[in-house]
Amino acid sequence: MLNWSKIKTVLLDMDGTILDLHFDSYFWLEHLPLRFSEATGISVEQAKQQLKDDYQKVTGTIAWYCLDYWAEQTKMPILKLKHEVKHLIQLRADANEFLTALRNSGRKVILVTNAHPDALSLKIERTQLDKYFDRLYSTHEFGVTKESQLLWQRLQQKYPFDCENTLFVDDSLPILKSAQRFGIKHLLAVANPDSKKADNIISDFNSITDFTTLTADIINNPV
């Protein structure tokens, strides 16, 4: 599936890739609507529909991932509400072995997430995921998301990487297609981002449901 002898840099998404997406799914689709319902007096179902409509308006933009934007839109303390369910934040069960193998192989391992810096900090606090990475980047510092070609240009200027020997892993097909357009040669989709949901069917990219199936090849092909 992957030619590890050609891969020197690994760019990894966070939510749904190395962290279980269940926390985010539950927060945005269940917990925030519940708290929004309580604050506004509308029903939970009305809150879910109103928030869903608001989400769709900004999907893929920096606003969709911005906690400050949603705090303003909802008049709710978004970060505080995230802390209420932070016990749901966890690494994927297969992530530790995979990430450890990557680090020990001598490759550069870079986190590139659309998550807001405050969300990233909360997840580092809960999982200590920062220990696996050489660099961690929230796209908010670049002003654009991974869906945009500008992000890849700005990221490459800040942290030079060679597209020919770089692997990018994400659970979002639009984002993988954006990376493909930019020229990143090695691409891998995560087909099971949320442990509480069925696997996604992916045909456009090589995909995986268990990172541990990669570790032997990583170990046998150090940089």
Q: Indicate the residue type of 20.
A: D
* Predicted model pTM: 0.95
CA distance 102 to 129: 13
Q: Residue 82's pLDDT is what?
A: 98
Of residues 147, 145, 140, 150, the one with CA closest to residue 68: 140
Sorted by where each starts, the structural domains of the chain and their CATH numbers stand as 4-20+90-220 (3.40.50.1000), 23-87 (no CATH)
CA distance 206 to 191: 10
Q: Is 128 exposed, middle or buried (0-12, 13-18, 19+ CB in 10 A)?
A: exposed
Of residues 148, 116, 136, 135, the one with CA closest to residue 27: 116
pLDDT tens for the chain, residues 1 to 223: 899 999 999 999 999 999 999 999 999 999 999 999 999 999 999 999 999 999 999 998 999 999 999 999 999 999 999 999 999 999 999 999 999 999 999 999 999 999 999 999 999 999 999 999 999 999 999 999 999 999 999 999 999 999 999 999 999 999 999 999 999 999 999 999 999 999 999 999 999 999 999 999 999 999 9
Q: Residue 1's pLDDT is what?
A: 80
Q: Indicate the residue type of 121.
A: S
Summarised one tens digit per residue, pLDDT across range 63-118 is 999 999 999 999 999 999 999 999 999 999 999 999 999 999 999 999 999 999 99
